[in-house]
Amino acid sequence: MSSKKVLAIVLAGGEGKRLMPLTLDRAKPAVPFGGIYRLIDFALSNIVNSGYLRVVVLTQYKSHSLDKHIAQTWRMSSLLGNYVAPVPAQQRMGKHWFRGSADAIAQSLNLIHEEKPDYVVVVGADNIYRMDFSQMLDAHIESGKSCTVAAIRQPIEMSDQFGVIETDSSDPTTIKAFVEKPTVTEGLADDPTSILASMGNYIFTADALVDAVTRDAEDDSSKHDMGGDIVPSFVAQQDAAVYDFIHNDVPGSTDRDRDYWRDVGTLDAFFDAHMDLIAIHPVFNLYNEEWPTYTGNRNVPPAKFVHAGPGGRVGAAVDSIISPGVVVSGAQVATSVVSPGARLNSWSTISEAVIMDGVSVGRHSQIHRAIIDKNVVVPPRTQIGLDPEEDRARGWVVTGSGITVIGKGTVIEP
């Protein structure tokens, strides 16, 4: 690992419109994930496991639960100068909040001036993956460029969701072109069905980043976006390198989950990423102790499974993640992720579902292919996810692939 001084910046101000209603009153990086985590825990765990212990988290939109989570979970000992600090929009460049993600950095340049790092690692906060940024830093230093963009192959039909990178075979590490969210019709030479997508993770030589965002802040024609404006400005000067995620080797990874990376920006992707966790041979393995994913320790009792008899049913779960503090009382759970404090009562059936904190499911209810946000009360004999038309008529969100989503705290009419 390089002994250079590194500051990590987590961009955590995204609104997450496409995750509504889960982002109705929380920032996207604070959305719960995987039973006991929040999305930002994956980026922060990668940073800390990479050995970078000075971290600022740039927040803006509905940041209360994010701030609380960071304060409770990620406060590090300041003895060695280590910290994870949430920083709200500073309004240093006029009375607006952050415009784009580059403006968030421009407004917080004082943090870079104070810390005087050699390199700045800038990462998004809403992807699920494991990555060792110290390996990417070694490649950044070796490339001699001022900006390095992490990249992964993605299906060509998803090109309009990503920054798309072009290189040429004579010099495969220099980025020749970078276009933010284009519609691409021609794939890679060796794989026409794929494009090389930016993962939204960057390493900059610190002085070059300061120059670029300072110049960008004064440019009224810019949208002040990292992918849309800052990266292309380095590419235009042939000063950007690509780091292919395929070369990143995180300790304890398996062949199955080594290149796992998922952008969970939509409800369907968010749901599918949960199903990835509970697959029998998980494509993303939470149980890798060599590269742990950290989160808050909540002091709740162990999960309990009750046979609610006589005449009742065995409380059971299979192919599922059941968090501490859950009571499965005579309910049958399959292929689901259940968060702390959920109460699942007799004769109810829950399958292919994401059940968040404190949800209670009354007797004889059925839940299938659904995401139920925190503290929702499901009364007895309720059906969720069985009839999309009926679910929509009740005011619930139903996604394109038929996942029903019920927002935080909804008390469903019996």
Feature table: binding site for alpha-D-glucose 1-phosphate: 163, 180-181, 198
Q: Is 115 or 180 the residue whose CB approaches ligand ADQ more closely? A: 180
Site string for ligand ADQ, 270-309 (x = CB under 6 A): ----------------------------------------
Q: Is 126 or 391 the residue whose CB approaches ligand ADQ more closely? A: 126
Residue choice 166, 180, 211, 259 for contact with ligand ADQ (CB under 6 A): 180
Binding residues: 163, 180-181, 198
Q: Is 184 or 355 the residue whose CB approaches ligand ADQ more closely? A: 184
Site string for ligand ADQ, 39-78 (x = CB under 6 A): -------------------x-x------------------
Interface with ligand ADQ includes 126 (CB under 6 A)? yes
Q: Is 162 or 396 the residue whose CB approaches ligand ADQ more closely? A: 162
Interface with ligand ADQ includes 12 (CB under 6 A)? yes
Which of 185, 184, 188, 180 is CA-nearest to residue 163?
A: 180
| Shortest Å, Cβ 276 to ligand ADQ | 17
Q: Is 155 or 251 the residue whose CB approaches ligand ADQ more closely? A: 155
Interface with ligand ADQ includes 101 (CB under 6 A)? yes
Interface with ligand ADQ includes 162 (CB under 6 A)? yes
Residue numbers of the site for ligand ADQ (CB under 6 A)?
11-14, 28-29, 58, 60, 98, 100-101, 104, 124-127, 162-163, 180, 197-200, 225-227, 263
